[in-house]
Amino acid sequence: MKNITRLMLDYRKAKSILWNSFFRKHVKNLTECSPLDEFEEIDSYLFRGLVEKACGTDKSTSTIIALPKQGSAIRVMLGERDGLNVSWREWAQIDNVSHLKYVALFDWDEYGHVKYQYCKCELHQEGAVSLALADIDEIDFFIVSRSVDGSDVRTSTNHNP
């Protein structure tokens, strides 16, 4: 398990600058999604170049997880899938978090000025999986190699940066 927090924060910064400086101004109305669609395609290359290549890995051989910076408890906003949408509920304190599997950086207004203050994750706890938003300032990111059968292989449980 390797700490990649710095790589993820660099990716966050690059993604924010790219959207805010060059793509946001092309959004004319919310029914025309072309700028967002094009940005998402570029974003996948940005992620591969700044995170995956720097780690020497890709999504097929590893998983990115987030762990609380302090202890095993974290404040998250839980979400419920409703088709393609997610209904976010109120913030909750979750104790004994085994890990949060990284899904994407998140901002409430994906068409406006973004900061990506949150990390959208899958919360794995007591055998159940649910969506969660975690404040990016309260977590560290790690890359975890997967074994041949697809399960996570952890080489260390110490996650202090």
21-80 pLDDT, tens per residue? 998 888 877 677 778 888 999 999 999 999 999 998 877 889 999 999 988 888 999 998
According to the model, what pLDDT value does residue 107 have? 96
Q: Which amino acid is at 49?
A: G
How many Cβ atoms from other residues are within 10 Å of residue 151's Cβ?
A: 8
Pairing mode, strands 139-145 and 2-3 = antiparallel
Spatial contact of 114 and 106, defined as CB atoms under 8 Å apart: no
Mean pLDDT of the chain: 86
According to the model, what pLDDT value does residue 146 have? 73
Strand partners, 63: 144
Task: Output phi, psi for 152, to 5 deg.
Answer: -75, 140
According to the model, what pLDDT value does residue 157 have? 40
Helix (H, G, I), strand (E, B) or coil at 68: strand
pTM, rounded to two decimals: 0.86
pLDDT above 60: residue 152? no
Give Cβ neighbours of residue 62 (< 8 Å, ≥ 6 apart).
55, 143, 144, 145, 146
